[in-house]
């Protein structure tokens, strides 16, 4: 009897221990720690209850359940190339890269089924609509415009899903091989045209520089000739001035000498014979053969009178010299 009681007590203790262990396990498993940049969507009895942010949380066993763990960090999705047709009927392949961030975990969980697939399909249709309004050349040169339009449309469409589209990039634009070959030929022709233009502009600039150098040299040569002519004229002018001044000085000297001679003669009070002799000399100079007419003074009456006057002048001068 006593052994049966002990056995019953052991069973009771075992059951109680099992229950306690089960309760401890439930309590431990109900304690949740939400890490940074994560959010837990909680359902209670099958319907949305709350969203857990970063920190320590307690989940009611059996009643509460974690429906979805959402990442709040910005995410990047690379979609495969999509065939699109331009306005000028050129088919090309374009792949896009979408950057997005989940802003509302509840809407992200309940707003749309498979949200990444929805964003991919939405970006493909939006890309086709935008490219369909552009020609090929404009498409290749309008990446920023296309990116901005796609981002705006996707951001507006995904707002009810709790998703914020932050950026959209066209990763690759792949036209057909025929178009690529034509574009390469066009680029080669454009480079050759630019090379020819640059070469022609270089030759033009070189010729202009040569012409300007020749012009400058001719101008400098003309200026040098002008300055040389001016200096030569000034030298001739100075020489003539000096020559004229010398001649004037010589004439003044001669005239001064003659004036001094006359003054000295007047001061000496020459005799009549000396004056007669000077007249004869003057007459001799006038009649030396160069003159065609000779004017004889009125006081000389005859040739004998001339001779007598000469003799008398000699006789008169002889005693004067002796004295």
| 101 phi, psi to nearest 5 deg | -145, 140
Q: Look at the block and give the residue holding tokens 């975990």.
A: 105
Residue 162 DSSP SS3: coil
Distance CA 64, CA 67 (A): 9
Helix, strand, coil distribution of the chain in percent, nearest 5: 65, 20, 20
| Class at the top of the CATH hierarchy for domain 75-175 | alpha beta
Tens digits of pLDDT across the chain (323 residues): 555 565 666 677 777 877 778 777 877 878 888 999 899 999 998 899 999 999 999 888 888 888 999 999 999 999 999 899 988 888 889 999 999 999 999 999 998 888 899 999 999 999 999 999 888 888 888 888 999 999 999 999 999 999 999 999 988 888 888 877 887 888 888 888 898 999 999 989 989 999 888 888 899 988 988 888 898 888 888 888 888 888 888 888 888 887 777 777 777 666 666 666 666 666 665 556 555 555 555 555 444 455 455 445 445 544 444 44
Tokens representing 179? 């178009």
Query: Tens of pLDDT along 166-219?
Result: 999 988 888 888 877 887 888 888 888 898 999 999 989 989 999 888 888 899
DSSP states of 193-231: HHHHHHHHHHHHHHHHHHHHHHHHHHHHHHHHHHHHHHH
Taken as a whole, the chain contains a residue count of: 323
What pTM, to 2 d.p., does this model score?
Answer: 0.53
Residue-wise pLDDT tens digits, 29-57: 788 889 998 999 999 988 999 999 999 99
């Amino acid at each position: 009897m006593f052994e049966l009681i002990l056995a019953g007590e052991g069973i009771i203790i075992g059951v109680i221990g099992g229950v306690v262990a089960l309760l401890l396990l439930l309590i431990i498993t109900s304690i949740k720690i939400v890490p940074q940049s994560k959010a837990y969507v909680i359902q209670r009895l099958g319907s949305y209850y709350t969203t857990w942010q970063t920190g320590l949380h307690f989940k009611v066993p059996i009643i509460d359940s974690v429906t979805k763990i959402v990442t709040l960090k910005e995410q990047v999705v690379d979609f495969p190339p999509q065939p699109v047709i331009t306005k000028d009927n050129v088919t090309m392949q374009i792949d896009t890269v979408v950057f997005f961030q989940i802003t509302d975990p509840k809407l992200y969980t309940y707003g749309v089924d498979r949200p990444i697939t929805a964003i991919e399909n939405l970006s493909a249709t939006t890309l086709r609509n935008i490219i369909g309004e552009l020609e090929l050349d404009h498409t290749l040169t309008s990446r920023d415009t296309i990116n901005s339009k796609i981002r705006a449309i996707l951001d507006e469409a995904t707002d009810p899903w709790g998703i914020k589209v932050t950026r959209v990039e066209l990763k690759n634009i792949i036209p057909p091989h025929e178009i690529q070959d034509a574009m390469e030929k066009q680029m080669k022709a454009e480079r050759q045209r630019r090379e020819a233009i640059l070469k022609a502009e270089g030759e033009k600039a070189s010729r202009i520089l040569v012409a300007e150098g020749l012009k400058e040299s001719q101008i400098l040569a003309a200026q040098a000739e002008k300055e040389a002519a001016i200096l030569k004229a000034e030298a001739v002018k100075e020489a003539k001035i000096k020559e004229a001044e010398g001649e004037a000085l010589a004439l003044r000297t001669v005239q001064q000498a003659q004036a001094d001679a006359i003054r000295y003669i007047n001061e000496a009070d020459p005799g009549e014979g000396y004056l007669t002799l000077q007249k004869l000399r003057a007459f001799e100079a006038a009649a030396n053969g160069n003159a065609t007419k000779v004017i004889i003074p009125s006081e000389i009456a005859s040739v004998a009178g001339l001779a007598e006057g000469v003799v008398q002048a000699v006789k008169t001068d002889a005693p004067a010299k002796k004295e």
